[in-house]
Amino acid sequence: MIRKLLIANRGEIAVRIIRVCREMGIETVAVYSEADKDSLHAQLADEAICIGPAPSSESYLNMERIMSATLVSGADAIHPGFGFLSENARFAEFCEQCGVTFVGPDSRVIQNLGNKQIARNTMVAAGVPVIPGTDKPVMDVETGQKEAQRIGYPVIVKAALGGGGKGMRTAYQPEEFALAFQTAQKEAQMAFGDGTMYIEHYVEHPRHIEFQILADSQGNVIHLGERDCSIQRNHQKTVEESPSAAVSEELRKKMGEAAVKAARAAHYVNAGTIEFLLEKNDRFYFMEMNTRIQVEHPVTEWVTGIDLVKEQIKIASGMTLGITQEDVMIRGHAIECRINAENPAKNFRPCPGTIRELHFPGGQGIRVDTDIYAGYTIPPYYDSMVAKLIVHGDTREEAIAKMQSALGEVIIEGIDTNVDFQFEIISDPKYQSGDFDIEFLSDFSPVQ
Ligand code: MV4
């Protein structure tokens, strides 16, 4: 059993984790940087420990400081949230060595899924559909060029240790290959200290569909349906929803079975997400598996009625899943809009500062996950997301109408936000029709 949990994170996700711990009777320890002394997560936890200066590298990314706080406070588990150390295999291993429960999968599982080439090969062996591509690391242009020819253009060069869009370049013709490969490899070397690359056929205009899974340590694996995360800009998701307008009951069953197969093949335990690309002809391909709780988890919680963070903690405590696949029902439709402190008119430039006035909507079918309050000063050191607005309706149309009403009610004075930009997106006829793909925001220009 977990009696005391340290949250190795900040912001709304730290608050989200503290709240469920309180409900479960688990004591909480917050860690915070010098820039976060007035933060809500530090105030809400039973204990709060300052772990260092503002830069993440000296606080939320510093494993030794976080482990010291854990041992000093007597916490028996760490929840890493998302970002920061959440998918760091070395940190999970450090927890294992210190006898602290890491709320997430085994360090070796994180390591194997973090290497996208290994993950790809695992899925091929398990019979999960993957995009045609290379099965061995590609280190140089010449080898890559031959492989690209075999795979067929257009191709995409990806870093083995990449993910989320870093160290990735496309080539539409052989003439473009050398430059694409070299640029991607250089970027990978810089970002991950490793220039191991792999190549795939480039799928044009797909949707990004991800499946939530839950796996316990007794070998039970279930899926909780999909999230459509096609509305994104520079690999930053902005609107997410569940279910997807593009996924029929029949396709959900097929993709869900593939997701469960993928989790089993990876020997996965805890909550995880399988990312797929989905083509218009309903063909789908495994892309990567994320081993953390995701920002967009509330849309899945709302259509399934399952508290994902609670399940994560129960699984980490060794408990058996209390739900079978047959128990999982998808009810209604949920949409999430991420609210960022940024200025869309100035190339989405982050806009930290002091919140002068604040009002969030409420009522039936509206949820706000946030850590900001009136008078709070958003520090400039971290991610610009300050709130998530999540709505639930019986139908997609009702959820969209509710989101329009909810966004219209938001008041955040003192900083710039993307609230109006989000309103334009969900009011767009193309978005409302449900007929969009990952390029949606590339050609999107809001009417001013
Ligand atoms: C792709 C792809 C098309 N074809 N792979 C983007 C992040 C990383 N998870 C992989 N990504 C992509 N891989 C092949 N073979 C297109 C993307 C992609 C993308 C995927 C999901 C959501 C948004 C995206 C934006 C640009 C590119």
| 317-337: pLDDT as tens digits | 999 999 999 999 999 999 999
Q: Is 287 in the pocket of ligand 1 (CB under 6 A)?
A: yes
Which residues are 413's β-sheet partners? 357
| Residue-wise DSSP of 134-148 | -SS-B-SHHHHHHHH
How far lies 373's CA from each of 39, 81, 370, 377, 387, in Å?
Answer: 9, 21, 9, 9, 11
C-alpha of residue 325 to centroid of ligand 1, in Å? 29
- Tell me the torsion sign for CA atoms 437, 233, 227, 321: positive
Residue 331: active-site member: no
For the Cβ of 434 lying below 6 angstroms from any atom of ligand 1, the answer is: no
Residue whose structure tokens are 């849309």 = 299
Q: Are 9 and 298 in contact (CB under 8 A)?
A: no
Which residue's CA is the nearest one to ligand 1's atom 21?
208
278 ligand 1 Cβ < 6 A: no
235 C-beta closer than 6 A to ligand 1 = yes
- 202 Cβ below 6 A of ligand 1: yes
CA of 220 from ligand 1 middle (Å) equals 30
Cβ of 165 less than 6 Å from ligand 1: yes
Tell me if residue 300 falls in helix, strand or coil: helix
Task: Please answer whether residues 113 and 291 qualify as being in contact, where contact means their C-beta atoms are separated by less than 8 angstroms.
Answer: yes
**How far apart are the two ends of the chain, measured CA to CA in Å?**
54
Looking at the chain, the whole-number percentage of residues with pLDDT higher than 90 is 97
Instruction: Measure 165 CA to ligand 1 centroid, in angstroms.
Output: 7
For ligand 1, the distance from its centroid to the CA atom of residue 171, given in whole angstroms, is: 14
Closest Cα to atom 16 of ligand 1:
203
Q: Is ligand 1 within 6 A of the CB of residue 387?
A: no
What are the Cα distances from residue 35, in Å, to 2, 18, 63, 362?
Answer: 29, 20, 18, 30
Name the residue among 223, 259, 263, 260 with its Cα closest to residue 106. Answer: 263
Interval between CA 15 and ligand 1 midpoint (Å): 31
Residue 199 is predicted with a pLDDT of 97
Q: Tell me the pTM.
A: 0.97
Contact status, residue 348 vs residue 422, Cβ threshold 8 Å: no
Ligand 1 pocket test: which of 157, 207, 208, 231 has the largest number of ligand atoms within 8 Å of its C-beta? 208
**What is the C-alpha to C-alpha distance for residues 408 and 289, in angstroms, rounded to an integer?**
35
Q: Determine the residue type at 200.
A: E
291 in helix, strand or coil? coil
Among candidate residues 65, 169, 207, 292, the one labeled active-site is 292
**Locus of tokens 């490899």:** 185
Over its C-alpha atoms, the chain yields an Rg (Å, rounded) of 21
Which residue positions in the chain have pLDDT lower than 70?
A: 447-448
164 lines ligand 1 (CB under 6 A): yes
412 has which bridge partners? 358
Question: Does ligand 1 have an atom closer than 6 angstroms to the CB of 438?
Answer: yes
Count other Cβ atoms within 10 Å, centred on residue 377.
15
Measured by CA distance, the residue closest to atom 13 of ligand 1 is 287
Neighbours of 108 (CB within 10 A): 13
- How far apart are the CA of 160 and the centre of ligand 1, in A? 14
- Cα atoms in the Cβ-side hemisphere of radius 13 Å centred on 28: 26
